[in-house]
């Protein structure tokens, strides 16, 4: 706490307040949040338009406030795959990372007990999470094995993937630089 307070005005004042919960225990700050790039679900509006959706319909289905579900994204991704518009409906990250935690939250997974300070294994929620992935593989929305990072990014930029859960807010800069996104 002493060091955080000492450097607050120079370094930490603009961190999202909820990020401090991850480094706080028994009301004392024990660390500094190290990754504050919010993960997101990125999808291709041009694919939705090819499916016949208007911009108004897209906005209602996938609003800017993010209030939608993985099931809705998967439903539309399946439409795009079935129509032959994309090779991949949804791609997620091919390695460990914080993006998985964001996806776990969609299934109401509890990973931490704030009262005891312990990590928890929420088996029923994890089962729902893994069952959703298995169902998406069976439906052809998600490949059985995730491709490499290069494939995840390149196929999204090229319009061969409808949605990626593998990226954070800084990724479009990489898409522009490495893959020519315009």
Per-residue pLDDT averaged across 40-60, rounded? 94
* CA atoms within a 13 Å half-sphere pointing along the CA-CB vector of 83: 18
If you classify domain 37-179 with CATH, what class do you get?
alpha beta
- Structural domain spans, the chain: 1-36, 37-179
Contact by Cβ (8 Å): 153, 174: yes
Q: What's the residue count for the chain? A: 182
Contact by Cβ (8 Å): 82, 104: no
Residue with tokens 């291709």: 44
Reported as a single tens digit per residue, the pLDDT across 83-116 is 999 999 999 888 877 777 778 888 888 888 888 8
Could you give the C-alpha distances from 91 to 76, 85, 109, 124, in angstroms and in order?
14, 15, 21, 24
Instruction: Give the integer Cα–Cα distance in Å for 180 and 129.
Output: 34
Residue 38 has pLDDT above 80, yes or no: no
Per-residue pLDDT averaged across 125-133, rounded? 94
Helix, coil or strand: residue 32: coil
What was the pLDDT predicted at 37? 64
Q: How confident is the model at residue 56 (pLDDT cuts 50, 70, 90)?
A: very high
Q: Which of 76, 87, 93 is nearest to 145 (CA)?
A: 93
Instruction: Give the integer Cα–Cα distance in Å for 19 and 12.
Output: 11
Q: How confident is the model at residue 9 (pLDDT cuts 50, 70, 90)?
A: confident
Instruction: Give the integer Cα–Cα distance in Å for 1 and 28.
Output: 7
Residue 3, number of CB atoms within 10 A of its CB: 10
């Amino acid at each position: 706490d002493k060091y955080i307070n000492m450097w607050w005005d120079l370094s930490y004042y603009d961190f999202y307040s909820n990020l401090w919960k991850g480094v706080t225990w028994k009301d004392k700050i024990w660390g500094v949040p190290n990754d504050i790039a919010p993960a997101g679900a990125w999808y291709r509006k041009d694919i939705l338009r090819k499916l016949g959706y208007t911009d108004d319909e897209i906005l209602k289905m996938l609003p800017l406030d993010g209030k939608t579900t993985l099931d809705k994204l998967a439903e539309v991704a399946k439409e795009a795959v079935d129509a032959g518009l994309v090779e991949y409906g949804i791609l997620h990250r091919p390695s460990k990372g914080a993006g998985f935690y964001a996806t776990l939250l969609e299934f109401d997974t509890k990973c931490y007990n704030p009262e005891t300070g312990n990590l928890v294994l929420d088996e029923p929620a994890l089962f729902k999470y893994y069952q959703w992935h298995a169902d998406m593989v069976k439906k052809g929305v998600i490949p059985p094995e995730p491709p490499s990072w290069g494939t995840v990014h390149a196929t999204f930029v090229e319009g061969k993937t409808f949605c990626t859960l593998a990226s954070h807010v800084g990724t479009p800069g990489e898409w522009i630089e490495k893959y020519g996104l315009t």
